[in-house]
Chain A
Amino acid sequence: MVHSNMPRLTRARLLGLSFIVVLTAFGQARAQDGGVELTGDRLVNSRKEPQNWATYFGAYDAWRYSSLDQIRADNVKNLVSVWAFQTGKVEGGLNATPLVVDGIMYLIASENRVFALNAETGERLWTYNYKFPRDLVTPYGKFNRGLAVGYGLVFFGTMDNHVIALNASTGKEVWNVEVEDVKKCGCNINGAPFIVKDKVIVGGTGGDSAHRGYISAFNAKTGRLAWRFYTIPGPGEPGHETWPETDIWKYGGGSTWLTGSYDPAQNLIFWGIGNPSSDFNNKIREGENLYTNCIVAIDADTGKLKWYYQEIPHDAWDFDSAYESVLMDVTRNGKTEKLLVHPNKSGYVWVINRVTGKFVNAWPYIDNVTWVKSIDKDGKLIGRNEPEAGKQTLVCPPWGGGRSWNHSAYSPRTGLWYNDGIEWCGNVSVFPQEAREGRSFVAGNVDVKPPPDGKIRAHLDAFDPVTGQKKWTVPFKYPILSSLLVTGGDVVFTGDVEGRFLAFDAKTGKQLWSFNTGSGHRGGPITYSVRGRQYIAVPSGLGSIFVSGMPATWPEAANFQTGSAVFVFALPERK
């Protein structure tokens, strides 16, 4: 089927453009119809297509980096707004990272509304509105972090725990599978799926409910389940002995609520596994509680475990290991190491050899860390400061994390890893709870307190990703809740909770430009190009569980307005 908007686009191109350009534009727009299909093979080589932002993290390595360099540190101040798109509903804000493939932007907003837009003009090509049941209970909110595109289809998870594939040309549903009954499991999907080879890989929430987590792989074309990796081993499986001899393993959490990375050379998917539950009462689950708080490496074809590394055994602080796994090859002392750099909610970054799964280093990305005294050279936690029932325990950082889930960025040009951090603590109370399938299973609460060294505050930093040596830092009043983007033009982009979209010099941290979009930033900025012009796109719209909790710490945040729009910028067109 030919793209319905094609003729209009093509006619526009004909004016004053060469025949070659027309053919190229036509070929690109036809790609979703089978012309140059976006396949698993093409996604493996996505670094060779910097004009696209084809996967959630921009590429399988989770760098959130693009080599595009038309917009540079020395000209970013000239950026102008090109277009904006309003999604029309602001509840839940806009948490997503848009994708751009061959000149078309795909965007998912709260309540699983999906849009295809002309990436040059913002013209809406189609809209998909998800029909959800009226009696729906949405255990982890109505927001969504992103989608996947490939094989002429657009994939996303829903607030009531379905995975859906749409025809990328028409926005019509092609397949729809209910992964697990949301009313039973207290879980749903708000992370972005990603495509590896012929499969769509999907995680889910549920780590603070009585639920057993898993990663599912569906055949991209048919929706049939290809494999499922349970994050808690069942009876008879290796690792089951790290749970007590009760039924708690069925309710022990280990959610997979964000998106994994992929190493094609090893055919391994890396995924950060969430906290065990009940979150704060670890007495109910004596043992290491595998594979919660682990990085797992699983075979992309079979879903079988290759290796795991557990960062925090027997967690008592709700410190997920769910954040991004950044894959980088680093040369030190004449030796190149294949590493996985993994920021944890606990304020530490773990550096792991991604071939062997062995510990390389762990270093703190924030100043105030008291849940553990130190981590030794073998990765062992020294001096655990565990909360206990019947008293209050001051823990830094609190469960909100040394940062939230919004992602870091890595530039191979500067060799620096860019990340944000929050200096804060919390008094933890433990309230033992019994597991009830699918129900909240947190068993504690945290009241936010200032850190020992001063006021609650935040910062944006550039680090050596292996040693943790800090290269520059920029102070912020409030946590940064937008993902970061770094480009071949050596610019770091991010946004603040009050609405300012900001550009920094990747080498020095100097602020170069800002634009107020009118609502705080909670999604992922991206960059792409169409017909040789580089664009920067940023979702604007404050909202999420973290944001709802902010007024307790920052009362004025109750008045930070929400929104749901994408803003797109570029350098002025040469006349």
Chain B
Amino acid sequence: MSEDDARVSNNRFGSDVRRSGTFRLCSVAVVLGAVAGIVLLPINQSRRIAYAGPQTDKLKDPQFIAEGAKLFAPSCGNAYCHGSGGVGGGAPRLRGKSLEAAYLFKTISNGISGTAMVSFKGEFSQEQIWKLVAFVMSDVKSAPDARPEASAADKQSPRATLESAESTATGSIGSAQAGRALFFDSNQSKSCHQCHSFQGEGTPIGPDLSKVGSRSPRELFAGIALPREVRKDTRYSTLKLTLRSGDKVVGIKTEEDAESIRVYDTTELPAVLRTIQKTDIVKLESANESVMPKDYASLYTMKQFLDLVTFLKSTDSKSPVALKDLLE
């Protein structure tokens, strides 16, 4: 384990401290260790356990392990992933490898870049992740007959889980959650995320829309529904190109070198990043209008506009946008 790993894990314990005073002593000890520059290698069992943090005493608790087994089976234990009990899947074997508790905790929480291992901290609580750690570190085989607590998933409508009380509010106010779903709707070719990002998600071809929360609801609404009112953002150089082939390209320039221009062609979505040789260009004009689709007024209902604007304003204000806000 590298020092870097240790630091990440310690930060995680740090956040535990803030949430739950019970674990403070142990965490402080770990943080002190890190500050003193002690790299916590698997030197001996006692240190390893000390490093494993707040749930140390529970890592060998059969009940704790059994609960981990139940969590493991559906989320980690299929053959596309780690297989039964962590053996025999398409992903690396987890058993018989003397994996460190803190390493497991960190990896389950954050995932591993460059692999299929995704982050699970949005799916499991820290307590649940410790249960998974306990199961993986144990020699308990698997829980083939386990029925996870959420077995109600059998017949439950996923819609019910996606919609909160907020989004079922009457049409006159927006829901940030419903707006978020619209922003990232993969079934809608003109969905905002095709060209915009929001807090690091989406495609950053046009402006980052997590930075527009301070604008008025009316301005945001007009920016979507009335694209002529879209602000001219000088960072986005919109070009009209006529090519030798007769093809016409309207898009946003990203790069240019001696031989070619790279343009996001937004004629159809998803946008195409095209590398166009300058020798193929017959005519090059700068376009003054935005490349944003012009038909949102007919694509979205008023309720959906309220949802979107509420979502875009959510970085600035938690209160839902009402119909009158769009018009004032």
**A residues apposed to B, CB below 8 Å:** 134-141, 172-181, 183-186, 208, 212, 221-226, 228, 230, 234, 244-248, 250-251, 279, 281, 283-284, 389-392, 399-400, 427, 429, 431-437, 439-440, 442-448, 545-546, 548-549, 551-553
Q: Give residues 82-116 of B contacting A (CB, 8 Å).
A: 83-84, 87-93, 111, 113-116
> Among the listed B154, B245, B269, B273, which residue makes an inter-chain contact with A389, where contact means beta carbons less than 8 Å apart?
B154
Residues of the B chain whose Cβ atoms lie less than 8 Å from the Cβ of A247:
157-159, 162
Contacting residue for B78 out of A185, A251, A442, A448, CB 8 A: A442
B270 in the interface (beta carbon within 8 A): yes
Q: What residues on B are CB-neighbors of A545 within 8 Å? A: 80, 90
| Interface class of chain B by DSSP | loop
The 5 closest A-B pairs by CB, nearest first: A552-B88, A431-B74, A223-B272, A545-B90, A246-B157
- With A178-B203, A221-B247, A222-B247 known to touch, is A444 a contact of B274 (CB < 8 Å)? no
Assess whether B272 is in contact with A446, with CB atoms less than 8 Å apart: no
Minimal beta-carbon separation of B263 from chain A (angstroms): 10
- Residue with the highest number of chain A CB atoms closer than 10 Å, among B78, B81, B90, B156: B78
**26 examples of A-B residue contacts, CB within 8 angstroms:** A134-B113, A136-B113, A138-B115, A138-B116, A140-B116, A177-B271, A177-B273, A180-B270, A183-B201, A186-B118, A212-B187, A221-B247, A222-B265, A222-B267, A224-B268, A224-B272, A226-B268, A247-B157, A248-B158, A389-B147, A392-B145, A427-B144, A431-B73, A433-B150, A442-B81, A443-B74
Contacts of A138 in B (CB 8 A): 114-116
**A-chain residues with CB within 8 Å of residue B203 when the two chains form the complex:** 178, 181
Most chain B CB inside 10 Å of its own CB: which residue of A224, A389, A392, A549 = A224
List of A residues within 8 angstroms of B140 by Cβ: none
Number of interface residues of B (CB under 8 A): 63
Interface: B77 (CB within 8 A): yes
8 Å CB contact of B154 from A185, A251, A281: A281
Contact (Cβ within 8 A) A184 B273: no
| Residues of A with C-beta under 8 A to B189 | 225, 228
A-chain residues with CB within 8 Å of residue B193 when the two chains form the complex: 181, 184
Number of A-B contacts (CB under 8 A): 189
Residues of B contacting A172 in the complex (Cβ-Cβ under 8 angstroms): 275
Q: How far is the CA of A212 from the CA of B113 in the complex (A)?
A: 24
**B144 in complex: contacting residue of A208, A429, A552, CB < 8 Å:** A429
Q: Decide if B74 touches A184 in the complex (CB within 8 Å).
A: no
Q: How far is the CB of B239 from chain A (nearest CB, A)?
A: 15
Asked if A224 and B158 make an inter-chain contact with CB atoms under 8 angstroms apart, the answer reads: no
- Smallest beta-carbon distance B254→chain A, Å: 11
Q: What 0/1 pattern do residues 234 to 278 of B give for CB contact below 8 A with A?
A: 000000000001010100000000000000010111111111000
Instruction: Write out the residue numbers on chain A whose beta carbons fall within 8 Å of the beta carbon of B115.
Output: 137-138
Q: Give Cα distance in the complex from A244 to B155, angstroms.
A: 10
Chain B proximity of A496: nearest CB distance (Å): 20
Partner of B88, one of A136, A222, A390, A549: A549
Contacts of B81 in A (CB 8 A): 440, 442
Q: Indicate if the CB atoms of B78 and A440 lie closer than 8 Å.
A: yes
Query: Which one of B75, B115, B144, B158 has the greatest number of beta carbons of chain A within 10 Å?
Result: B158
Question: Is there contact, CB below 8 Å, between B274 and A222?
Answer: yes
B residues with a Cβ closer than 8 A to A are 73-75, 77-81, 83-84, 87-93, 111, 113-118, 123, 144-148, 150-151, 153-162, 184, 186-187, 189, 193, 201-203, 245, 247, 249, 265, 267-275
Contact B272 A176 (CB under 8 A): yes
Cα–Cα, bound, A230→B189 (Å): 12
Task: Take A137-B117, A140-B116 as given contacts and tell me if A390 and B147 are in contact as well, using a CB distance cutoff of 8 Å.
Answer: yes
A181-B201 contact in complex given A140-B116, A434-B150, C-beta closer than 8 Å: yes
Specify which of B75, B80, B156, B193 lies most central, judged by the most chain A CB atoms within 10 Å of its CB. Answer: B80
Beyond A181-B193, A181-B202, A212-B187, whether A139 also contacts B116 by CB under 8 A is yes
Asked whether B150 lies within 8 Å of A548 as measured between CB atoms, the reply is no
Chain A residues positioned under 8 Å from B184 (CB to CB): 184
Contact between B145 and A224, CB atoms less than 8 A apart = no
The distance from the CB of A354 to the nearest CB of chain B, in whole angstroms, is 30
Which residue in chain B gives the minimum CB-CB distance to A180? B186
Given the interface pairs A175-B272, A221-B245, the reply to whether A444 lies near B117 with Cβ below 8 Å is no
- Shortest B156–chain A CB gap in Å is 7
- Given known contacts A136-B113, A137-B113, A223-B265, is B147 in contact with A447 (CB within 8 Å)? no
Q: A246 to chain B: which residues have CB within 8 Å?
A: 157-160
Assembly CA distance A139 to B117 (angstroms): 8
| Residue of B91, B156, B275 contacting most chain A CB atoms (<10 Å) | B275
> Across the interface, which residues of A come within 8 angstroms of B155, CB to CB?
283-284
Residue from B74, B91, B145 having most chain A Cβ neighbours under 10 A: B74
B277 CB to nearest A CB, Å? 9
* Complex partner residue of A136 from B87, B91, B114, B249, CB under 8 angstroms: B114
Name A283's closest neighbour in chain B (CB-CB): B154
Identify the closest chain B residue to A186 (Cβ).
B118
- CB neighbours (8 Å) of A224 from chain B are 265, 267-268, 272
CA separation between A183 and B193, bound complex, in Å? 12
Residues of B within 8 A of A186 (CB): 118
Q: Considering the complex, give the chain A residue whose CB is closest to the CB of B77.
A: A445
Q: Is the CB of B201 within 8 A of A553?
A: no
In the bound complex, residues from chain B placing their C-beta under 8 Å from that of A427 are 144
Instruction: Tell me the complex Cα distance, A165–B273, Å.
Output: 10
Residues on the A chain within 8 Å of B118, using CB: 137, 139, 186, 439-440
What residues on B are CB-neighbors of A174 within 8 Å? 274-275
Q: A209's closest neighbor in chain B, by CB? A: B80
- Determine the chain A residues whose CB is within 8 A of the CB of B123 once the complex forms: 436, 439
B266 nearest in chain A by CB position: A224
| Contact A552 B83, CB 8 Å, known A389-B147, A431-B146, A432-B74 | yes
Interface-central residue, B162, B189, B272, by most chain A CB under 10 Å = B272
- The closest CB in chain B to the CB of A137 belongs to B118
For residue B196, give the distance in angstroms from its CB to the closest CB of chain A. 12
